[in-house]
Amino acid sequence: MTVTTTTGLSLSDVCLSFGDGDSTVHALDHVDLEVAPGELVAIVGPSGAGKSSLLAVAGGLSKPSSGTVKVDGIELTALDRKATTKLRRERIGFVFQSGNLLPALTARDQLLLVEKITGRKGRNPDELLASVGMDHRADRRPGQLSGGERQRVGIARALMAGPSLLLVDEPTAALDRKRSHEVVELLAKETHASEVATIMVTHDHEVLPHCDRVLEMVDGRLRPHS
């Protein structure tokens, strides 16, 4: 295992290609990215630009064609499948568009399930639910929650194991304007308080002022958002 003293997320000269010959798609084209602990970075860009590919590679769900990905200085790209899964469970949190909660579980049980999966004691679920403003809904199932509330529970669940990296895909897609601002404000607050390195992919330009940095992805390349 290659470990350096770097923390947060580091992508160095990362490429991800699909297909070969004339039909090759360069989903990621020599991407360099550093996200520090406690920093919320937004990624915007047109459809097909490579944003989901970036999240997949950063989260160890896809192996890049070349380049290195490090989380907390651990080189993800050098790990085998089992070690990648372990690192993902312990150090990476994911938040998806719809919250991706299990329908049968209460909000509290969604968080407690993380402890069962990782086999490690996580953060206190009730404190975490309180910090996302959901302590009064701890005993409700997803079907009894609003879209914004489900998203809050999804964020709390992603933070349960105390991750170093949080990967967030279109968290406001199903929300109205007010709820969108609230959810991204909450993400910024938790990113800073928990000192987690967060990447949020979004099409929602209204929420960008809540982010510490905004980058634009075009044709698999990252550049500062103008």
Per rule CB under 6 A, count of chain residues that contact ligand ATP: 11
To the nearest whole angstrom, how small is the minimum distance from the Cβ of residue 184 to ligand ATP? 18
When asked if residue 219 is in the footprint of ligand ATP (CB under 6 A), the reply is: no
Per-residue binding string, ligand ATP, 13-42, x by CB under 6 A, is -----x------x-x---------------
| Lookup: tokens for 199 | 């990447």
To the nearest whole angstrom, how small is the minimum distance from the Cβ of residue 2 to ligand ATP? 26
To the nearest whole angstrom, how small is the minimum distance from the Cβ of residue 19 to ligand ATP? 6
Restricting to residues 43-102, which ones interact with ligand ATP according to CB under 6 A?
A: 45, 47-53
When asked if residue 222 is in the footprint of ligand ATP (CB under 6 A), the reply is: no
To the nearest whole angstrom, how small is the minimum distance from the Cβ of residue 112 to ligand ATP? 32
Residues that bind ligand ATP (CB under 6 A): 18, 25, 27, 45, 47-53
